[in-house]
Structure 1
């Protein structure tokens, strides 16, 4: 499923790949509509009926992920509202074991996320995730989402990599298709990003897993890179 011997770098999505997407789904589909209803004196269902089409219209764009954009558009403190349910932020199954195995293997691990820097900071505080990887890049630093094929070209400026020795792991099929189009040699899809929802159907062309325990044994068999003295 993954040719570990050919890799130098592993790019990792965060939400839905390393962290349980239940937090984000609950926020956008339940918590935000409830707070929006309170703010504008609406029935909860009326708030959902207004918000969901508005949010979905931005899908795939940087605005979809941008806390500043939604805070201004809705006149609400989105990051503050996310902090209200911060106790829902958590790892997906087997993630810490996987990250420890990546580090032991000598592979370079980089989180490449569409998450805005403000909620990113909240999630890092809650999880300690930054200490488990080598680097973190937010698409907001580059001004375009991972769905944009040009993102991968610009990423070289922040996290230099060789496409032929790189793996991208993500729960978003459009992101993985974008990465493949940009020449990333290996891609892997996560089918169970939200612990409270059913797993999705497999992608017809991209290898898929439900959880990282499916690839841990092969990763652990990879010999670590020789140390530089």
Structure 2
């Protein structure tokens, strides 16, 4: 990736899962552990449980319900947050993330975490990795009632923290979210090459800059 123009950047907006934290925890939970728990609870096969969860996920993809643990707890009849706690040892930083956060704090940037994660999921992550010291503000899209895929989210975020899109850097691993930020005219937009370090790198199609290692951002 090219060296970022730090002298022109005032605000750094950062996603959490897949951007700061390894997405392996979330992928493992939704794609493997939750289907296992469902088939055990309802006496169906693993493939049936996985197919049902995949089908329900597709129905709400891109909406706040996709991220809402209350929604999934009610729909599946399983204690989602408690199940997440069972495998919370898998929650971990991505390589050199804390180094990156330390450097941008030293530069005096406004640093804000913005995530679509449900508040309970965010609280779990905060209890396992030391997120709070690095950020001026930590926000869940649930606070606004709209996901980052919505332009309303960005308008409300700007109203709350007062960022200038022309002087803002945004890093996220979701293509739909990156396109939403682009529509809102955020100038510096980057994605992450390997959100899940145990999976193959994701395709980018050269739409956005790519971060392979946070240590190379300076």
Same fold (TM over 0.5): yes
Q: Which residue of 2 aligns with 1:85?
A: 87
Gaps of 5+ in 1: 219-229
Offset at 1:65? 0.5
The structure 2 residue matched to 1:197, chosen from 174, 196, 199, is: 199
Say which is worse superposed, 21-30 or 202-211, in terms of deviation.
202-211
Q: Which residue of 2 aligns with 1:8?
A: 10
Q: Which residue of 2 aligns with 1:24?
A: 26
Q: TM-score by structure 1 length?
A: 0.91
Q: Which residue of 1 aligns with 2:179?
A: 177
1:153 maps onto 2:155 in alignment = yes
CA-based RMSD: 1.1
Between the aligned partners of 2:57 and 2:204, the Cα distance in structure 1 is 26
Corresponding residue SS for 2:159? coil
Q: Which residue of 2 aligns with 1:76?
A: 78
Count of matched residue pairs: 216
Q: Which residue of 2 aligns with 1:114?
A: 116
Offset at 1:128? 1.1
The structure 2 residue matched to 1:166, chosen from 168, 184, 195, is: 168
Q: Which residue of 2 aligns with 1:225?
A: none
Between the aligned partners of 2:213 and 2:194, the Cα distance in structure 1 is 7
Offset at 1:164? 1.2
Gaps of 5+ in 2: none
Deviation digits for residues 148-170 of structure 1, max 9, x if unmatched?
A: 12211111233221111111100
Q: Which residue of 2 aligns with 1:209?
A: 211
Deviation digits for residues 70-99 of structure 1, max 9, x if unmatched?
A: 111111111111000000000000101000
The structure 2 residue matched to 1:53, chosen from 37, 52, 55, is: 55
Between the aligned partners of 2:203 and 2:33, the Cα distance in structure 1 is 27
Q: Which residue of 1 aligns with 2:134?
A: 132
Q: Which residue of 2 aligns with 1:188?
A: 190
Q: Which residue of 1 aligns with 2:37?
A: 35
Q: Which runs of 4+ in 1 moved over 4 A?
A: none
Deviation digits for residues 123-169 of structure 1, max 9, x if unmatched?
A: 00100111222210100000010011221111123322111111110
Q: Which residue of 2 aligns with 1:223?
A: none
